[in-house]
């Protein structure tokens, strides 16, 4: 990966998205970060540039139908090409199925599924031109949903299906499409979840996993997939979860 590669990373202001943006920049890509937090995005850009990298950011709400195309246009106007799209943005509400409203469901799909789909569509011609790569950050709930994760499981499963469909299209167009399913990753959202277990050690034990993941674990895998060594991966749904997913 080098400066001739331009990567868009959504949800780049914190957590997994921020780690991905920093890793791709360290590998030499020019990075476009997007999220809703303008101040956090500018801090990301400053950190990348202080290390000699190239970056820009735009604060957008990707739930809005026109925001993904605005992000694609901004990336092209800033760096003149698009090679990598990392669809990371999106959080869904947990809770009792009977208490989840239509608005909760609509919000869950609006960002993580429709925002990602629209951004990928808006970037596709550039990705086709440049033999680019799309990486969706989904989640293990798409394979193993739970009663308290009905929205997230449904959204993640839809992303897995979309990955397979676009991977087939990508064979024709020369675009690589894959998905990473993170398990428990040490982010702000994870910290609030682990409180219910009393300790991280208890969470690890009851979840039957090797350890809690770090955002950098996901970033390292993104860098491998989108780099020259990972090009044989196509339509892959990779569980990065310390062994939590037990299904085939």
DSSP state, residue 149: G
Nearest-5° Cα angle at 131, 18 to 171: 110
Closest CA to 109 of 45, 70, 156: 156
Which string of DSSP letters, residue by residue, matches 156-187?
Answer: HHHHHHHHHHHHHHHHHHT-EEEEEEE-SB-S
Closest CA to 111 of 136, 91, 97, 134: 91
Please report whether residue 101 resides in a domain.
yes
Please report whether residue 99 resides in a domain.
yes
Q: Residue 94 belongs to what H/E stretch? A: none
| Angstrom distances, CA of residue 85 to CA of 12, 137, 168, 196, 212 | 12, 11, 17, 35, 26
Please report whether residue 1 resides in a domain.
no
pLDDT value for 116 = 98
CB 91 within 8 A of CB 116: no
- CATH number at 129 reads 3.40.50.720
Enumerate the β-bridge partners of residue 35: 59
Closest CA to 219 of 1, 9, 4, 3: 9
CB 109 within 8 A of CB 157: no
Please report whether residue 30 resides in a domain.
yes
pTM score, whole prediction: 0.96
Per-position pLDDT tens, the chain of length 248:
655 899 999 999 999 999 999 999 999 999 999 999 999 999 999 999 999 999 999 999 999 999 999 999 999 999 999 999 999 999 899 999 999 999 999 999 999 999 999 999 999 999 999 999 999 999 999 999 899 999 999 999 999 999 999 999 999 999 999 999 999 999 987 877 777 788 899 999 999 999 999 999 999 999 999 999 999 999 999 999 999 999 88
pLDDT value for 80 = 97
If one counts the domains in the chain, the total is 1
DSSP state, residue 88: -
Helix-helix angle 215-226:15-26, to 10 degrees:
50
Please report whether residue 246 resides in a domain.
no
Please report whether residue 78 resides in a domain.
yes
Please report whether residue 24 resides in a domain.
yes
Please report whether residue 220 resides in a domain.
yes
List the domain range (segments joined by +) for residue 11.
6-185+214-240
Q: Which two tokens stand for residue 13?
A: 């202001």
């Amino acid at each position: 990966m080098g400066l001739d590669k331009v990567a868009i990373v959504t949800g780049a202001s914190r957590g997994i998205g921020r780690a991905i943006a920093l890793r791709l920049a360290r590998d030499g890509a020019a990075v476009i970060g997007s999220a809703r937090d303008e101040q956090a995005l500018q801090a990301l850009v400053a950190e990348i540039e202080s290390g000699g990298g190239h970056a820009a950011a735009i604060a957008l709400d990707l739930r809005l139908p026109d925001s993904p195309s605005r992000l694609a246009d901004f990336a092209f106007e800033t760096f003149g090409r698009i090679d990598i799209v990392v669809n990371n943005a999106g959080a869904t509400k947990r809770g009792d199925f009977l208490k989840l409203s239509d608005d909760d469901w609509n919000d869950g799909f609006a960002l993580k599924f429709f925002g990602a789909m629209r951004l990928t569509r808006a970037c596709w011609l550039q990705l086709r031109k440049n033999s680019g790569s799309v990486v969706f950050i989904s989640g293990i709930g798409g394979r193993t949903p739970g009663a308290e994760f009905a929205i997230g499981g449904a959204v993640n499963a839809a992303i897995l299906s979309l990955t397979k469909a676009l991977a087939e299209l990508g064979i024709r167009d020369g675009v690589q499409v894959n998905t990473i399913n993170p398990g428990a990753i040490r982010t702000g959202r994870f910290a609030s979840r682990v409180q219910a277990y009393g300790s991280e050690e208890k969470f690890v034990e009851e979840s039957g996993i090797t350890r809690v993941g770090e955002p950098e674990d996901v970033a390292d895998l993104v860098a491998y997939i989108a780099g020259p060594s990972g090009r044989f991966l196509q339509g892959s749904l990779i569980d990065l979860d310390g062994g939590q997913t037990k299904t085939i």
